[in-house]
Amino acid sequence: MGFARTLRAAGGPADPERVQAMLRALDHLDVLDRSDVYWAGRLTLCADPDDLPRYDRCFAAYFSGLTARPGRRRPPPAVVRRTFAAAPGASGGGDDEEVREARAAMVSGTEVLRHRDVARLGPDERAQVDRLVAALDAAAARRRSRRFAPAPRGRLDPGRTVRETLRRGGEISLLRHRAHRTRPRRVVLLVDVSGSMRPYADTLLRFAHAAARSGGRATEVFSVGTRLTRLTRELRHRDPDAAMAAVSEAIPDWSGGTRLGEELKEFLDRFGQRGMARGAVVVIASDGWERGDAGLLGAQMARLHRLAHRVVWANPHKARPGYEPLTAGMAAALPHIDDFTSGHSLDALEHLARLIGGSRA
Amino acid sequence: MSERTTAGAAPAAVASPAELAELLDRHGYLADDGLATAGFLALRMGRPLFLEGEAGVGKTELAKTLATVLGAPLIRLQCYEGLDASQALYDWDFPRQLLHLRAAEAAGITDVARLEGELYDRRFLMARPLLRALETTPSVLLVDEIDRADDEFEAFLLEVLSDFTISVPELGTIHAERPPVVVVTSNRTREVHDALKRRCLYHWLEHPAFDREVAIIRRRLPQAAERLAGQVARAAQRLRGAGLLKPPGVAESLDWTEALVALGVRELDPDVAAVTLGAVLKYREDQQRVIAGGLGALFDGG
């Protein structure tokens, strides 16, 4: 069906199964009625409020006889590079000698690289750091869940005890116990992609990808700049480069300005307050260069701090000699932060990962 | 995945979305075209209806009204973190099983095999909402706030909702004679897995437009004067645009109107609004903000 193809081209989730559902839905409706066709499609081909405007656009375009222009493709920003292909030793062929040398350099260079500011790295070094970042484990510490699991000691497990008793003909001979299971705590990362964060945004997003990989579905990632963009779905790609490509497609405001306060408010209104930030470890990666109202940022930080388990702020400029958190935004946010860290180098990111994991190191 | 073409529940005679809208209307629920079509297709296709939208737009209410319209019981599964199969599906009634065993012992029954069989009889099985919904025909199953359950539960639910059978190891498989009408709601605190959404019809509920909201208030609270309903609806619409922590939903407009009616108020003015604001705005910050902005601003032009 042409319409489904149009929608798919624009990025909608119109997979064959959904298209089938739409056709079946139309069996029960009036195929010639525009409104019926609209709803049959909208109810079956969309799966998210974000899908709806796109659906409306495609529907209007397709059924007014025009073919919809496929979604405007932005050229990916320059910060996204292919890491793995460019990595020495990744391509099977090539000069053996050269590869060996590069490998040796890589091993000895790692220690030095650990402490270098990522903004000052050459392309090869960056590729190396990217790979090390991809291997970081940034899952949050676990918290107690309401569910029980069998345990050697703990509270009595009536179900299993009775079952055991039944098996032995009614004699209570063995007590079974259970204890609360643990679950990973949710991690929410808000990565600033505004102009002033440009040298760090890519590495920090890669860090977010590593966190999403190690934290599983308990991790949520957003980019902030002039608009709040949810990146959780994009970062589900296993391969870091594929994920970064998807992310760069999704972010509409690379290297724009910063309206942290407003976006934090949007995050809290739309997601945070309803549950996403409750009891979570929330990491804000930003230099705190607030163009908007610092008072608003302060108020929203206070709100976030009341909801979250811990609030971590990673500011890459913190590591600069003589840095003082003097920008209005940073100063307003500071009273509501549990951990203030840097996140400018591999070492700093490892530290950040440990903070997320709950250690005070 | 099997597709059912029969209607899920009693009045299989619902012939069109418009007719369903009228039936819902008769029971005090005003549905727009989209929601009526969604409900109609859910009945016709035997697919669960997945409703998302802001809190208080009437997601849960739809399931309740649908149950009334169909003359079917509403079976509600409220999701929460840590919800698991024994709370959603079934559980064995252990105390009764033990008692049965003791009674058998006292009566001197020694046939172990028979006794064992008796212990896992249907009468010792306590049906939780999902099993109850499969066993009750017709029924409306409301899976409320699925986003609060963990993702393992989601996967489990997907299995139940795709073939409407539940297998109890000791008893065998229990299959729904006719699948229940299923309404799943979510507040979007968490991304629900795509596989589950794909099984469902997806509908995003918006806050109603002004006229519809007035109509809803009038329908639910006929004691409220037309003018009062209009004022409340207008104020609610303005509050939704005011960037509050928790913008009021239709549920709050109804609460507010009810409070005003209870106080015998016939017309909303800033003084009355000030003392009843707690019925619409549930955060102190929101109340302060609205009061600071001037309560009069909520009604002028109304």
Which of A39, A51, A266 has the most B C-beta neighbours within 10 Å, making it the best mutation to test the interface with B?
A39
* Average of per-residue pLDDT across B286-297: 85
Q: Are the Cβ atoms of A162 and B94 closer than 8 angstroms?
A: yes
H helix and E strand count, chain A: 14, 9
* Predicted confidence (pLDDT) at residue A238 exceeds the cutoff of 70: yes
* Average of per-residue pLDDT across A217-228: 86
Q: What is the pLDDT of residue A74?
A: 45
Q: What is the pLDDT of residue B18?
A: 93
Q: Does A173 touch chain B (CB under 8 A)?
A: no
Q: What is the pLDDT of residue A283?
A: 92
Q: What is the pLDDT of residue A68?
A: 42
Q: What is the pLDDT of residue B174?
A: 87
* Predicted confidence (pLDDT) at residue A193 exceeds the cutoff of 50: yes
Q: Residues B33-76: pLDDT tens digits?
A: 999 999 999 999 989 999 998 888 889 999 999 999 999 999 99
| φ, ψ (nearest 5 deg) of residue A248 | -70, -30
* Predicted confidence (pLDDT) at residue A219 exceeds the cutoff of 60: yes
If one compares A311 and A179, the residue with the highest pLDDT of the two is A311
Q: What is the pLDDT of residue B204?
A: 92
Percentage with pLDDT > 70 across chain A: 84
- What is the model's pTM? 0.69
Find where tokens 């970042």 sit: A133
B123 near B165, Cβ under 8 Å? no
Q: Are the Cβ atoms of A29 and B37 closer than 8 angstroms?
A: yes
Q: What is the pLDDT of residue A92?
A: 42
| pLDDT tier at A108, thresholds 50, 70, 90 | low
Nearest to A162 among B97, B194, B202 (CB): B97
Percentage with pLDDT > 70 across chain B: 95
Within 8 A of A13 by CB-CB distance, chain B residues are 194
| pLDDT tier at A104, thresholds 50, 70, 90 | low
| Mean model confidence pLDDT for chain B | 86
If one compares A109 and B126, the residue with the highest pLDDT of the two is B126
For residue A37, the chain B residue with the least C-alpha distance is B37
Which of A166, A171, A236 has the most B C-beta neighbours within 10 Å, making it the best mutation to test the interface with B?
A166
| Mean model confidence pLDDT for chain A | 79
Q: Are the Cβ atoms of B150 and A271 closer than 8 angstroms?
A: no
Q: Are the Cβ atoms of A18 and B198 closer than 8 angstroms?
A: yes
Nearest to B189 among A145, A169, A274 (CB): A274
Q: Residues B190-234: pLDDT tens digits?
A: 778 888 888 899 999 989 999 999 999 999 999 988 999 999 999
Q: What is the pLDDT of residue B4?
A: 41
For residue A46, the chain B residue with the least C-alpha distance is B202
Within 8 A of B202 by CB-CB distance, chain A residues are 43-44, 46-47
Within 8 A of A162 by CB-CB distance, chain B residues are 94-95, 97-98
Q: Are the Cβ atoms of A183 and B191 closer than 8 angstroms?
A: no
Q: What is the pLDDT of residue A83?
A: 42
Q: Which of A182, A204, A242, A250 is nearest to A349 (CA)?
A: A204
* Predicted confidence (pLDDT) at residue A105 exceeds the cutoff of 70: no
How many CA within 13 A on the CB side of residue A137?
4
Percentage with pLDDT > 90 across chain B: 40
Q: What is the pLDDT of residue B189?
A: 73
Q: Are the Cβ atoms of A162 and B86 closer than 8 angstroms?
A: no
Residue A284 host element (H or E): strand A281-285
Q: Does A209 touch chain B (CB under 8 A)?
A: no
Q: Which amino acid is at B243?
A: G
Nearest to A17 among B147, B198, B246 (CB): B198
Q: Are the Cβ atoms of A46 and B198 closer than 8 angstroms?
A: no
* Average of per-residue pLDDT across B139-153: 89
Q: Residues A335-349: pLDDT tens digits?
A: 898 889 888 888 888
For chain B, what is the radius of gyration of the CA atoms? 24
> If DSSP states are collapsed to H, E and C, what string results for chain B?
CCCCCCCCCCCCCCCCHHHHHHHHHHCCCCCCHHHHHHHHHHHHHCCCEEEEECCCCCHHHHHHHHHHHHCCCEEEEECCCCCCHHHHCEEECHHHHHHHHHHHHHCCCCCHHHHHHHHCCHHHEEECHHHHHHHCCCCEEEEECHHHCCHHHHHHHHHHHHHCEEEECCCEEEECCCCCEEEEEECCCCCCCHHHHHHCEEEEECCCCHHHHHHHHHHHCCCCCHHHHHHHHHHHHHHHCCCCCCCCCHHHHHHHHHHHHHCCCCCCCHHHHHHHHHHCCCCHHHHHHHHHCCHHHHCCCC
